Amino acid sequence: MTKGKELLGVACLVLTAVWMGHYHGGYAWDSSPQQFNVHPLCMVMGLVFLYGDGVLVYRVFRNESKSSVKILHALLHMMALIISIVGLVAVFDVHNKHGFPNMNSLHSWCGMLTFILFLIQWLLGLGFFLFPWASTMLRRWYLPLHVFFGLVLLAMAVGSSLMGIAEKVIFSGLLPFAPEEVLANTLGLLLVCFGLLVGYVVTRDEFRRPPNPEEEALSVHFNTLSEDSRPSTP
């Protein structure tokens, strides 16, 4: 199941790269129209592929030490954030250079909302779960919200990508069912399947981390020792 998700994610990246590389003149970083092509590639790579991988580390590495997995979760999402910042800079720079308005379309409204909520979620995750700043009660209150918004943000990222694809196809002025449109629409459907598969694996019990008596003992020990009873695990 997770291998299928990895294959789907790579297929999404390849289709995005081929779409922009073959049909729209490849990539550049010189404020030319080719710099725009960096935007979809970075957003799919950051906010969908790497983001989805980051969501799933607790399921894929469910037998590894929880603290290592937690660091990997934070690192993958940090990479996702950095790559999506590059993707945002790419499009804002091209828009500014060529006099196109920014933050005009529903795609940009939803995409920016997704990015800002993701940044907030990442910072809160860092403060609540990776650094010992929050009390057990606060952690327990925030964990289900963190998980819920984790999946909401993936759905919003896929939804924003779909709008971006739909807009790009219209602006490219293609004939109905042109090969480029079929490729772009197929990319859209694969993104939906990727989101669906990540959501399925995360919400199924059989992929959950098995209870680990050693971790539980450590957690209890840590709680007894520390003044404000912080658990070692989110």
Residue 199 interacts with a copy of itself (CB under 8 A): yes or no: yes
Residue 68 interacts with a copy of itself (CB under 8 A): yes or no: no
Nearer to a copy of itself, 66 or 111 (CB): 111
Residue 120 interacts with a copy of itself (CB under 8 A): yes or no: no
Find where tokens 């007894």 sit. 224
**Who contacts 143 (Cβ-Cβ below 8 Å, separation ≥6)?**
129, 234
Residue 176 interacts with a copy of itself (CB under 8 A): yes or no: yes
Would you call 185 exposed, middle or buried from its count of C-beta atoms within 10 A (0-12, 13-18, 19+)? middle
Residue 165 interacts with a copy of itself (CB under 8 A): yes or no: yes
CA distance 96 to 13: 27
Nearer to a copy of itself, 61 or 207 (CB): 207
CA distance 121 to 127: 10
CA distance 176 to 160: 23
* Nearest one of 107, 102, 139 to 43, comparing CA atoms: 107
Among residues 74, 121, 143, 167, which is the contact residue for a copy of itself, using CB under 8 A?
167
Residue 48 interacts with a copy of itself (CB under 8 A): yes or no: no
Residue type present at position 89: V
Nearer to a copy of itself, 82 or 170 (CB): 170
Residue 113 interacts with a copy of itself (CB under 8 A): yes or no: yes
The footprint of a copy of itself on residues 142-161 (CB under 8 A) is 144, 148, 152, 155-156, 158-159
